[in-house]
Amino acid sequence: MPDFKQNYFQRRTKPKGPRSNYKITSPEVQVITNDGENLGTLNLNEAISKANEQGLDLIEIAPNAKPPVCKIMDMGKFKYDQQKKANKAKKKQKKIELKEIKLRPVTEVHDYNFKIKNAQKFLTKGDKVKFTIKFKGRELQHSHLGNELMDRIKKDMNELGRVELQPKFDGKQMIMVIQPI
């Protein structure tokens, strides 16, 4: 009884990687040797026996081709090479982050300049920058101060980035997003 439960609740996982040897479903396959020589279309059993003679595996490279293309090579080496390629591709891709800079409509000049320098650093690294101006209490009646501040930010960021999201009100705050050029 416990054996049944264990099998019943066991997670079914998809096989990872290409099919190899007897897991290949096609009766005939196009075979390529380890050296890159094309042996032509062979029966599946013949192809597997040729791979076994060399002490290697028959690996399905292009399963959607007619007939499927298989290569005689070492399965461990093949998986290792695929892992290396995946890691290299992952290393090269750049993930764009959204950095947020918060301001108030009454932000002083020195604080403003400091935050603008940080925003310029973020843009040169390739990240997007979200500017948020928070209004408190009666400051909301003077929304023109926020608009002026956003215009000043646009002017200062003009050479490094362009506005992706125009300044707009979201509750008691004004938001603008700038992306790198």
Looking at this protein, which amino acid is placed at residue 137?
G
**DSSP code per residue over 162-173:** EEEEEEEEETTE
Model pLDDT for residues 110-160, shown as the tens digit of each residue: 999 999 999 999 999 989 999 999 999 888 888 899 999 999 999 999 988
Residue 173 has pLDDT above 60, yes or no: yes
Confidence (pTM): 0.53
Higher pLDDT, 92 or 15: 92
Under the banding of pLDDT at 50, 70 and 90, the label for residue 177 is very high
Mean pLDDT, range 28-55, rounded to an integer: 88
Under the banding of pLDDT at 50, 70 and 90, the label for residue 102 is very high
71 forms beta bridges with 32, 59
Q: What gap in Å lies between CA 71 and CA 36, rounded to an integer? A: 8
pLDDT more than 90, % of the chain: 38
Q: What gap in Å lies between CA 47 and CA 53, rounded to an integer? A: 10
Per CATH, domain 98-180 is 3.30.110.10: yes
Query: What is the domain partition of the chain in residue ranges?
Result: 17-86, 98-180
Residue 2 has pLDDT above 70, yes or no: no
Per CATH, domain 17-86 is 3.10.20.80: yes
Residues 32, 51 contacting (CB under 8 angstroms)? no
